[in-house]
Amino acid sequence: MSEQLAPTTSPPAPPASYEPTDRTVPTRSRERASYDRELVHAILDEGYVCHLGFVRDGAPVVLPTLYGRVGERLYVHGSTGSRPLRAAGQADPGLAVCLTVTHVDGLVLARSAFHHSINYRSVVVHGTALQVTDPEEKRLALDALVDHVVPGRSADSRPADAKELAATAVLRLDLREVSAKLRTGGPNDEPRDLALPHWAGVLPVHTAHGTPVPSADQDPAVPVPDYLTAL
């Protein structure tokens, strides 16, 4: 495996933080912004879908899509016939995108309507998405996409064959211009509101998993895999 394809295993380690840019420094609530690489990775790795933004005919388009991470590279995929994938293949040097992942952690109830909020963690990535043409990188990206949904799953499924690989377009977006933003804690009520008779606090929110539902054509002799029950 070439060094280029496996940046996670290639020393030296990248700096602990991403470099802020004009686009990644918020105009307000700057104390909520972070450029910490580990935090960014953790937020990205916890999500199932990202929201991918691009410009078509001068107007913004935001589509939910699966993604995967390999070191400092994000991958999204789609049919070779889908609009963003076609656009990225035709654009030179690539497609300008903004990729955002958000987790809602709590509903913040303040005494005043004005101070209602949510606790959240988000990552915003700006950059240019490039179509992956190298077959080995494409396979690595598709494994990462499957393992992003269920860690360990790519090794327990039939890999894509040549026809499936040809039908799938993969875009790569390097993690260079990146920021995280997060809000934690309780409501920030005005001192004059503290005596008001309204309950104030946080209702925690999280993502939960139900009981695995086997496919209708599933051989009952095949057990639910450990990596699934572990989620």
Q: Which of residues 115-174 bind a second copy (CB under 8 A)?
A: 116-118, 120, 122, 124, 126, 142-143, 145-146, 149-150, 153-154, 156-161, 164, 168
8 Å CB contact between 66 and 149: yes
Binding of a second copy by 208 (CB under 8 A): yes
8 Å CB contact between 51 and 60: no
- Residue 80: partners with Cβ closer than 8 Å, 6 or more residues away: 86, 89, 166, 167, 168, 169
Binding of a second copy by 89 (CB under 8 A): no
Please choose, out of 31-39, 68-76, 77-85, 130-138, the segment that lies near a second copy by the rule CB under 8 A: 77-85
Q: What letter would DSSP give residue 217?
A: T
Please choose, out of 1-9, 10-18, 32-40, 100-108, the segment that lies near a second copy by the rule CB under 8 A: 100-108
Minimum CB–partner distance for residue 195 and a second copy (Å): 8
Binding of a second copy by 97 (CB under 8 A): yes
8 Å CB contact between 205 and 105: yes
Binding of a second copy by 113 (CB under 8 A): yes
| Other Cβ atoms within 10 Å of 103 Cβ, number | 16
Which of these, 162, 159, 130, lies nearest to 147 by C-alpha position? Answer: 159
Phi, psi for residue 192 in degrees, rounded to 5: -70, -15
Touching a second copy, residues 169-198 (CB under 8 A)? 186-187, 189, 193-198
Touching a second copy, residues 35-64 (CB under 8 A)? 48-49, 51-55, 58-64
